Amino acid sequence: MDLRQKLLEVSRGFRIDYEYLGYETIQMGNVNHTYKVNFLLPDGNPKSFLIQNVNTYAFRNPVGLMENIDKVTEHIRAKKPDQLTLHFHHTPDRKTYIADGDNFWRMTNYVPSVTFNSVSDLNVVRSAGEAFGEFQMDLADFDSGELMETIPAFHNTRKRYENLLEAIARDRAGRAASVQEEIGYLLSVQELACTLTDLQERGELPLRVTHNDTKINNVLFHPGDCSAMIVIDLDTVMPGLMGHDFGDAIRFAANYVEEDCPEYEKAGVNLEVFRAFAEGFLSKTAAAMTKKEVDTLALSCFVLTAELATRFLADYLDGDLYFKVKSPEHNLIRTRCQIALAKDMQKKLPQMEKIVFDCVSAAKK
Ligand code: GN1
Ligand code: MG
């Protein structure tokens, strides 16, 4: 069946009976597939929905994942009934998904909004920082034991290094010989990159409920004034560290270039963007943070960047099984861009730490 027809069938499965106009593929996310499906209401107005095909290679228990999202959005709705949260449509037997073979479909309302892959407007960055900080604080009283790990050991950097070493040994796609320099760099920074994981395992950093995938394009902004409306992509909401959310957000938003830019020499942390995000995030979280969390927050940016580089490189070595790729070298380009960013972060760590301390002091005044 062609995709147009398949998406119609899925929509009907979620009890959307309007006249079908067709679909558009949304370029969003490196793991799941997202489509905007368009309908005509009886009054002649258009109405759209989003359908996602969840990647079950990445998410092995998609039913558990949907239960996680339900619990988390319920928790936020109970606290803030007026806040926009994700709503999933139901099948006649009250399921929020349709599983057929390897496909796992879900459907939400389409929220007219703007998103950003790179941002220079510091107010937008600050607002994203507030949104992610607030998201974490909204879940501060949520029992993390209620959540299954949708991807086990997702931000366990030691495990990510083990995966990389296994991928090197397998050399499934015959690419290992050509990436010795990248492997060499990543192994040379392994101990520093594993700092958060080690501190967590020693009980020196508190486990919280975190988003874990805080790319700025996972915030939808108001089309008019560009204020943050809603945090989306809740697939990886799981127990995690505050630094995972802060670090991943900076890795993405504060890079001078997009994460897969082939002009590696241009990659680096824009400290103005760093400061704006830190101001927003810490204005919400500083009061709840431990000293160790504050002390390791700037380092978390390096950690998340190096960790993602190990993931991109492992996937490149495996022959691109996990991340969607636009060319055979896409995962290698991503790896190199993350490595260039990580190196710049190592250099700028003292400046980043100072900004964090300043923002924490300001937030506590
Ligand atoms: C994936 O699917 P998306 O684009 O939201 C990945 C993140 C990576 C990111 C890199 C579940 O996120 O961990 O940081 O790509 N998500 C998963 O762009 O693996
Ligand atoms: Mg995601």
Query: Which CATH number belongs to the domain containing residue 14 in this structure?
Result: 3.30.200
315 lines ligand 1 (CB under 6 A): no
Do 138 and 84 reside in the same domain of the chain?
A: no
Task: Note the pLDDT of residue 123.
Answer: 95
The reply to whether 286 falls in a domain is yes
Q: How far apart are CA 219 and CA 26, in angstroms?
A: 15
Do 35 and 81 belong together in one domain?
Answer: yes
Does residue 19 belong to any structural domain of this protein?
yes
117 is a domain residue: no
214 lies in the same domain as 268: yes
Question: What pLDDT is recorded for position 76?
Answer: 94
Centroid of ligand 1 to alpha carbon of 95 (angstroms): 25
Ligand nearest to the CA of 233: 2
CA-nearest of 343, 346, 344, 338 to 299 is: 346
Ligand 2 center–CA 348 separation, angstroms: 27
**CA-nearest residue, atom 17 of ligand 1:** 31
- Closest CA to ligand 1's atom 5: 29
| Index of the ligand 1 atom closest to the CA of residue 55 | 11
Please give the pLDDT value at position 87.
87
Do residues 155 and 100 share a domain? no
Structural domain including 251 reads 122-364
Work out how many domains the chain is built from and give that number. 2
Taking phi over 0 as left and psi of -120 to 50 as alpha, with beta for the rest, 205 belongs to beta
Q: For 76, how many CA atoms within 13 A lie in the half-sphere containing its CB?
A: 24
Per-residue pLDDT at 347: 98
Residue 101 has what pLDDT? 87
- Does 129 reside within a domain? yes
Whole-number pLDDT of residue 226: 87
- Helix and strand totals (H; E) in the chain: 11, 9
Give yes or no: residues 103 and 130 share one domain.
no
Domain endpoint, select from 53, 76, 109: 109
> Does residue 104 sit in the same domain as residue 131?
no
Please write the tens of the pLDDT for every residue from 35-87. Answer: 999 999 999 999 999 999 999 999 999 999 999 999 999 999 999 999 888 88
Same domain for 94 and 138?
Answer: no
Q: What was the pLDDT predicted at 198?
A: 98
- Residue 20: its H or E element: strand 19-26
The answer to whether residues 133 and 73 touch, using CB atoms and an 8 Å cutoff, is: no
Asked if residue 150 has its Cβ within 6 Å of ligand 1, the reply is: no
Ligand at shortest distance from the CA of 240: 1
Domain-located, residue 114:
no
Q: DSSP string spanning 31-100?
A: SSEEEEEEEE-TTS-EEEEEEEE--TTT-S-HHHHHHHHHHHHHHHHHH-TTS----B---TTS-S-EEE
For residue 236 and ligand 1, the question of a CB distance below 6 A is answered with yes
Indicate whether 234 and 99 sit together in one domain. Answer: no
Distance 40 CA to ligand 1 centre (A): 33
Distance of CA 234 from the midpoint of ligand 2 (Å): 7
For ligand 1, say whether the CB of 260 is within 6 Å of any of its atoms: no
Indicate if ligand 1 lies below 6 Å from the C-beta of 16.
no
Q: Is 30 in the pocket of ligand 1 (CB under 6 A)?
A: yes
| 318 assigned to some structural domain | yes
User: Does residue 231 form part of some domain?
Assistant: yes
Q: Is the pTM of this model over 0.85?
A: yes
The answer to whether residues 17 and 130 belong to one domain is: no
163 in any annotated domain: yes
Same structural domain, 34 and 163 = no
Q: How far is the CA of 199 from the centre of ligand 2 (A)?
A: 25
Out of 85, 109, 133, pick the residue that ends a domain: 109
Task: Report the distance separating Cα 147 and Cα 133, nearest Å.
Answer: 20
CA-CA distance, 85 to 116, in Å (whole number)?
19
pLDDT at position 257 is 97
Write down the pLDDT at residue 97: 97
Distance 337 CA to ligand 2 centre (A): 19
CATH number of the domain encompassing residue 223: 3.90.1200.10
**101/219 same-domain check:** no
**CB of 54 shorter than 6 A to ligand 1:** no
Point out the residues of the chain with pLDDT beneath 70: none
What is the token pair recorded at 37? 């499906």
213 lines ligand 1 (CB under 6 A): yes
Q: For a substitution probing ligand 1, which of 27, 28, 31 has the most ligand atoms within 8 Å of its CB?
A: 31
Do 105 and 131 reside in the same domain of the chain? no
- Which of 51, 74, 109 marks a domain boundary? 109
Q: Are strands 103-109 and 19-26 parallel, antiparallel or unpaired?
A: unpaired
